Each structure stands twice: as C-alpha cells, then as structure tokens.
Amino acid sequence: MALEGWFLWFILFWGAVLIGSFAIGGYFMFRKFLKSMPKEDGLSELNWEEYYVDKTIHLWGTEEKAMLNELVQPVPDLFRPVAKQKIAGRIGQILLEENVKSMKLEHIIRGYILATPKRDHKFLRKKLAEMQIDVSPYEVYFNQENQKAVSQ
C-alpha cells in the first residue's frame, strides 16, 4: 500500500505538527532545566526565588497578595504561578537587601519591573494609570539597561 493523495499530505502535516509541538515543549523544558542548575554559590535561580519568598512571607499581607494577583492577570493561567513566584522572589530580594520591616506598594512595583521583561512594562504602565498611581518615581527602573541589577 503506497501513500499517495490526501492521506500522504495528512500524514506529512500531522508529522510536522508533532515535531513542532515536541520542539516547543522541549524548548520550555530545557529553559526550566537551566534555571534549576546550581550556580557558583551552589544554589539555582529557583532555589534563590524560594529562599527570598520564604524569608519574606511574613511581610505579605492580603493587600499585597491582591496587588500581585492583579499584576499577573494578563499571564495565561498555566504560567501564572511561575510568574508570581519569580516576581515574589524579586520583591523578596529587594526587601531583604533593604532590610525593611514592612512591604510597601513601591516594593511590589519595583520588584515587578525588575523581574519582568521590557515587553511587560507596557501593561504595568497601563495598570498603574488605571489605579491612578504615578509612574514617574519608577522611570529609573523602566529605563534600566540591566534588569537583573537591583539598584538603590
């Protein structure tokens, strides 16, 4: 039985879809694998995120959690917990480095800016405008070249 006609095209199309799906899934799995690899200090990015969240969990009140949930609204449901963990980890890092006793809105916004890529900043600006929060104190962080560095 030779493959020809519409059945041949169906098999070729289905094969291409499967290979494409595996490639996309493999890409995201590999990125997660790289994040879980230990760095020079013996801990991975994910370990550090967990550390910062665990050390600052007592500073997270209901309002702060609601604000974080509001900011990660545009993220698809499947990826939302990962986004929340990354942003909360960055906020925790800021809180520990500044040795603060209570979390403020400024810490949440700054942590969001530093934890997310530039393409997400457009949404944050829009959301802050809706909430009638002045963006000008945060322009320094929006304009930072190196998003990884936390500046004072």
Looking at residue 3, its pLDDT comes to 72
Cα 145 versus chain centre, distance: 18
Q: Are 94 and 54 in contact (CB under 8 A)?
A: no
Domain assignments of the chain as residue spans, ordered by start: 1-36, 40-142
pLDDT, tens digit, 9 for 90 and up, residues 39-59:
888 888 889 999 999 999 999
Alpha helices, H only, 40-116: 45-56, 62-71, 80-98, 105-115
pLDDT recorded at residue 31: 82
Is pLDDT above 80 for 146? no
Of residues 149 and 52, more confidently modeled: 52
pLDDT digits (tens, 9 = 90+) for 96-131: 999 988 999 999 999 999 998 888 888 888 888 888
Q: How far is Cα 75 from Cα 92, in angstroms, rounded to an integer?
A: 21
Residue 21 burial (10 A CB sphere; 0-12, 13-18, 19+): exposed
pLDDT in tens, 9-41: 999 999 999 999 999 999 888 888 888 888 888
For residue 60, name the pLDDT band (cuts at 50, 70, 90): very high
Which pLDDT tens digit goes with each residue over 63-94?
A: 999 999 998 988 889 889 999 999 999 999 99
Whether residue 147 is predicted with pLDDT greater than 60 in this model: the reply is no
